[in-house]
Amino acid sequence: MYFDSVEAMDRAELEQLQVERLKKTIENAKKSPFYSERLADFNVNDIRTADDITKLPFTTKNDLRSQYPHGLLTKPLEDFVRMHASSGTTGTPTAIFYTQKDLDTWAELMARSMYACGCRKSDTLQNMSGYGLFTGGLGIHYGSERLGMITIPSGAGNTKRQIKLIRDHNVSVLHIIPSFALYFAQQVQEAGFKTEDMPWRIALIGAEPHTEEARAKIEEMMNIKAYNSYGLSEMNGPGVAFECIHQTGMHLWEDAYIAEIIDPKTGEHVAEGEIGELVMTTIRREGMPIIRYRTRDLTRFIPGQCECGRTHRRIDRITGRADDMMILKGVNIYPMQIEQCLMSMPEVGQNYLIELVREGVSDHMTVKVEIKEEFFVEDMRVLQGLQKKIAKTLCSEILLTPRVELCQHDSIPKTEGKAVRVIDTRDED
């Protein structure tokens, strides 16, 4: 391991480290205009165990917006050397500032992440991601150099040149966004090369949430091992959590962040292994600490220990945004849970629709599902069997049995742009 003493640290020791760093973080945060007010009455000695973090208030995206640009900074401006801002010219943006030490920490976490999935000093990495304000580009770049890989800052675009560079320089690691990877594999084939003859070994495919199926397809088409990662600019950028070679969830670097998973409605911790909103606290950032940041990203802690020996807990791939959460009969349900169930069944087509209606005092969910043509047979008993199977599969995931309606191929109306998957009429009169 890149830093085995930290990465394989005994849990009790790690939690002790977290408590110490959290206390320092609180004291440091109080030097900023925002937290000096927000935490004015907070006594740092109230933090005794890692769980005491729940005594602290949340920080939200709106807090970052209202404090733009400098409200969370703990040091004079001239101590900072980097700023990344959210894109867009309308609305209030958010800005993240880094001291040199913060950049060093970030590069170290990135290098550690890439080492975890098998990258080594002797590798050559081609950074096929855009640079600029997007933290993915410079984040991977600095980590790759820190690990000692030859780093080729090819940037996005120009597929032909990308292929030439990969072949000329024996590139073994790609940083490529998942939605581009399949297109790129095709381009390689059209250029007359077999993907199995390409020198690559590892693809870093974070930056966009994607399914396990998408990963499997990338791995197959590109003849590569693809590793998922998690990050967000509020927590530096990429390198917050990263898969190791076992590909069983992403180790979240708990010496640098305290992660919690909460019910987005109540703000309480969910039970171990349950899906909820990821809440993050920086405990190794000096210039702009953020405490209990509501990421709005949905995930869960993966129970158990990883074979690799790293003790830092793993989070599951992001399965949606907290804003998408539905509550039915007191149960939190996320559209992505339903989508994943449906897509795992060979009979189900591409399109589905979730409807929530109120009937009297009771709420009901109906899931309309398009069935592939070859499975849409005349025999009613077969269709009823399929209907029951879908309902049962969904119940095992969302703990409620929805009504299931089977629909013919192409019968659910398509919408322009982003698909509408949920129609909730319960609060309409």
The footprint of Zn ion (CB under 5 A) covers 244, 246, 306, 308, 310
Q: Rounded CA gap, 218 and 237, in Å?
A: 23
Rounded to whole angstroms, how far apart are CA atoms 96 and 231? Answer: 14
Report the alpha-carbon distance of residue 25 to residue 232 in Å, rounded. Answer: 19
380: CB partners within 8 A, 6+ apart: none
Which is it for strands 124-127 and 150-152: parallel, antiparallel or unpaired? parallel
Residue type, 110: M
Return the residue matching tokens 């165990």. 49
Q: By CB under 8 A, name the binding residues for a copy of itself.
A: 68-69, 77-78, 80-85, 87-89, 93, 95, 97, 100, 103, 121-122, 124, 130-133, 137-138, 141, 144-145, 148-155, 158, 160-161, 164-165, 168-169
- Minimum CB separation of residue 92 from Zn ion in Å reads 39
End-to-end CA distance of the chain: give it in Å, rounded.
59
381 and 375 in contact (C-beta within 8 Å)?
A: no
Residue 133 binds which one of Zn ion, a copy of itself, none, with CB within 5 to 8 A depending on kind?
A: a copy of itself
Of 264 and 287, nearer to a copy of itself (C-beta) is 287
Residue 244, contacted partner among a copy of itself, Zn ion, none, CB below 5-8 A by kind = Zn ion
Tokens of 422: 């949920």
Q: Quick one: what does residue 306 bind among Zn ion, a copy of itself, none, with the CB cut-off 5 to 8 Å set by partner type?
A: Zn ion
The Cα-based distances of 64 to 58, 290, 297 in angstroms read 12, 9, 17
Residue 203 forms beta bridges with which residues? 174, 226
Residue 128 CB, shortest distance to a copy of itself, in Å, is: 10
Instruction: Pick the closer one to Zn ion by CB: 26 or 244.
Output: 244
Structure tokens, 149: 């890989």
* CB of residue 155 to a copy of itself, shortest distance in Å: 3
Nearer to a copy of itself, 69 or 267 (CB): 69
In the complex, the smallest distance separating the C-beta of residue 249 from Zn ion, rounded to whole angstroms, is 8
Look at residue 10 and give the partner it binds from Zn ion, a copy of itself, none, a contact being a CB closer than 5 to 8 Å depending on partner kind. none
To a copy of itself, the closest distance from the beta carbon of 123 in angstroms equals 9
Could you tell me which residues come within 8 angstroms of residue 261 by beta carbon, excluding any fewer than 6 positions away? 269, 270, 274, 275, 276, 277, 278, 279, 299, 300, 301
Cβ closest to a copy of itself, residue 200 vs residue 257: 200
Closest to a copy of itself by CB, 14 or 147: 147
Please give the Cα distance from 6 to 105 (Å, whole number).
14
Token pair for 79: 């101590």
CB atoms < 10 A from the CB of 363, how many?
A: 16
151 makes contact, choosing from Zn ion, a copy of itself, none, with CB < 5 to 8 Å by partner type, with a copy of itself
**CB of 149 or CB of 398, closer to a copy of itself:** 149
308's contact among a copy of itself, Zn ion, none, with CB below 5 to 8 A by partner kind, is Zn ion
Amino acid at 389: K
CB 302, min distance to a copy of itself, A: 33
149 binds, among a copy of itself, Zn ion, none (CB under 5 to 8 A by kind): a copy of itself
> Minimum Å distance from CB 3 to Zn ion?
14
Contact 182, 221 (CB under 8 A): yes
Q: How far is the CB of 234 from a copy of itself (least distance, A)?
A: 17
Rounded to whole angstroms, the Cα distance separating 124 from 144 reads 9
Measured from the CB atom, is 69 or 335 closer to a copy of itself?
69
Quick one: 42 or 131, whose CB is closer to a copy of itself?
131
From a copy of itself, Zn ion, none, interface partner of 1 (C-beta below 5 to 8 A by class) = none
| Complex with a copy of itself: residue 152 or 394, whichever CB lies closer | 152
CB of 241 to a copy of itself, least distance (A): 24
- Residue 83 interface partner, choices Zn ion, a copy of itself, none, CB cut-off 5-8 Å depending on type: a copy of itself
How many whole angstroms from its chain centre is CA 7?
A: 20
Least gap, CB of 238 to Zn ion (angstroms)? 18
Other Cβ atoms closer than 10 A to 426: 13
Contacted entry of a copy of itself, Zn ion, none for residue 88, CB cut-off 5 to 8 Å set by kind = a copy of itself
Where do the H-state alpha helices sit in 241-357? 335-343
